[in-house]
Amino acid sequence: MFSGPSVFSGLDPSLIERAATFIRSGRLVAFPTETVYGLGANALDAEAVARIYSVKGRPPSSPLIVHVASIEMAESLAAEWPPLADRLAQKFWPGPLTLVVKKQAAIPAIVTANLATVGLRMPAHPIALALIQAAGVPLAAPSANRFTELSPTTADHVRRSLASSSSSEVGLILDGGPCQVGIESTVLSIVGPGAVLLRPGGISRSELESVAGPVAAAQEVQAGPHLAPGMHPRHYSPRTSLYLPENGNVPERGHGIYLQYRCPAHRADVAIRQMPLSAVEYAAALYDALHQADEENYDWIAVDLPPDGAEWEAVRDRLKRAATK
Ligand code: AMP
Ligand code: MG
């Protein structure tokens, strides 16, 4: 029997007000964004933010993204808001881009894992924006799942993942339907002299470069444990073992499912799920396909890795992490 937080759907003002009241009183609310569902707390309340880490089982060395409802709100949380931040925010917000900038002292250290910087993002989802506005505070929010597990892209994924959380921690889950982007935000650091891509995501590197000029990859710079926690080698993983076979060479044994891109599987007796051929649609479908495969209790999941093109960078990144033991 399910006994976790309740799910409520829609953009009903009285529901948003109720959720905002939970946020102001230091409790958590799970809410939809265009990327994945978030587990939000008042970013200015250290005790509330501590509940996020405890519900997720997230190590304190992983900083949280702070969600805002306007560029002005972002600016008020940044110690420095360089012209490049403004150009990027004007172009890509609301949307799946997190900007890492120097933080204001008002943001508690627990939010940023003691870093002097903060990741800021304005999500493109009416429910997320309405919640931030109604609460009147920025929301610290990682994905609404247990640490290292698959990110949720539906309210039902959240409900199952947080089923063991007590309702004194998570006030409620707002249901906004399936996430449109379906993969986490791009994280771009603009604290140094050049822009550094800490995590590929919903906005592609070439889109960024059209505004920011050349963007260095995180691998090219020092990636310390705190610099980019989304870069934990194992992350975004289903419970079922996941393989990335070449040329359709799926495992010989067991009953598995093959997420096909173009290459057919070598074994005929496996379940096949044809994935979308466009990168945008593939990203939107990926986590749901993995959640479903987990539900169906296969011995393994094999994924036909999409090609090595620029638009596939985020999808390939998530699949490689999901395949890491
Ligand atoms: P998630 O688990 O999806 O919430 O991941 C949060 C992501 O935000 C991580 O992958 C980090 O790369 C990034 N992040 C948040 N805050 C910072 C920060 N201050 N410095 C660097 N990366 C950050
Ligand atoms: Mg996450």
User: What CATH number is attached to the domain comprising 75?
Assistant: 3.90.870.10
How many whole angstroms from 151 Cα to the centroid of ligand 2?
A: 6
**Same-domain check for residues 177 and 252:** no
The answer to whether 230 touches 199, Cβ cutoff 8 Å, is yes
**Same-domain check for residues 197 and 248:** no
CB atoms within 10 A of CB 100: 26
- Residue 55: per-residue pLDDT: 95
**Same-domain check for residues 210 and 247:** no
The answer to whether 185 touches 156, Cβ cutoff 8 Å, is no
Q: Pocket residues for ligand 1 (CB within 6 Å)?
A: 63, 65, 98, 100, 112, 115, 117-119, 142-143, 184, 187, 198-199, 227-230
**Residue 170 CB contacts under 8 Å (≥ 6 apart), including other chains:** 4, 5, 27, 28, 29, 30, 39, 55, 162
**Same-domain check for residues 58 and 161:** yes
**Same-domain check for residues 187 and 272:** no
Ion ligand 2: residue ranges with CB closer than 5 A: 143
- Give the mutation target among 31, 49, 65 for probing the ligand 1 site: most ligand atoms within 8 A of CB: 65
**Same-domain check for residues 37 and 155:** yes
Domain's final residue, options 162, 182, 217: 217
CA dist 41 and 20 (Å) reads 10
58 inside domain: yes
Q: Which two tokens stand for residue 25?
A: 């009183």
Task: Check residue 103 and report its DSSP letter.
Answer: B
- Residue 5: per-residue pLDDT: 85
**Same-domain check for residues 82 and 191:** yes
Q: Please report how many Cα atoms fall inside a 13 Å half-sphere around the Cα of residue 39, on the Cβ side.
A: 32
Task: Give, rounded to a whole angstrom, the gap between the first and last alpha carbons of the chain.
Answer: 31
- Residue 7: per-residue pLDDT: 86
Closest residue by CA, ligand 1 atom 11: 228
Per-residue pLDDT in tens (0 to 9) along the chain, 325 residues: 456 788 888 789 999 999 999 999 999 999 999 999 999 999 999 999 999 999 999 999 999 999 999 999 999 999 999 999 999 999 999 999 999 999 999 999 999 999 999 999 999 999 999 999 999 999 999 999 998 889 999 999 999 998 877 767 898 999 999 999 999 999 999 998 889 999 999 999 999 999 999 999 876 554 444 455 445 666 778 999 999 999 999 999 999 999 999 999 999 999 999 999 999 999 999 999 999 999 999 999 999 999 999 899 999 999 999 998 7
237 inside domain: no
**Same-domain check for residues 212 and 295:** no
Domain's final residue, options 182, 217, 252: 217
The answer to whether the predicted template modeling score (pTM) of the entire model surpasses 0.85 is yes
**Same-domain check for residues 125 and 45:** yes
Task: Check residue 254 and report its DSSP letter.
Answer: S
**Same-domain check for residues 210 and 254:** no
CA angle 244, 237, 275 (to 5 degrees): 50
CA dist 161 and 191 (Å) reads 34
Q: How many domains are there within the chain?
A: 2
Q: Please provide residue 59's backbone torsions phi and psi, each rounded to the nearest 5 degrees.
A: -65, 145
Domain that holds residue 313: 242-322
CA dist 149 and 317 (Å) reads 15
- Residue 119: per-residue pLDDT: 98
303 inside domain: yes
- Residue 167: per-residue pLDDT: 65
Beta bridge partners of 175: 9
Q: Please provide residue 316's backbone torsions phi and psi, each rounded to the nearest 5 degrees.
A: -65, -40
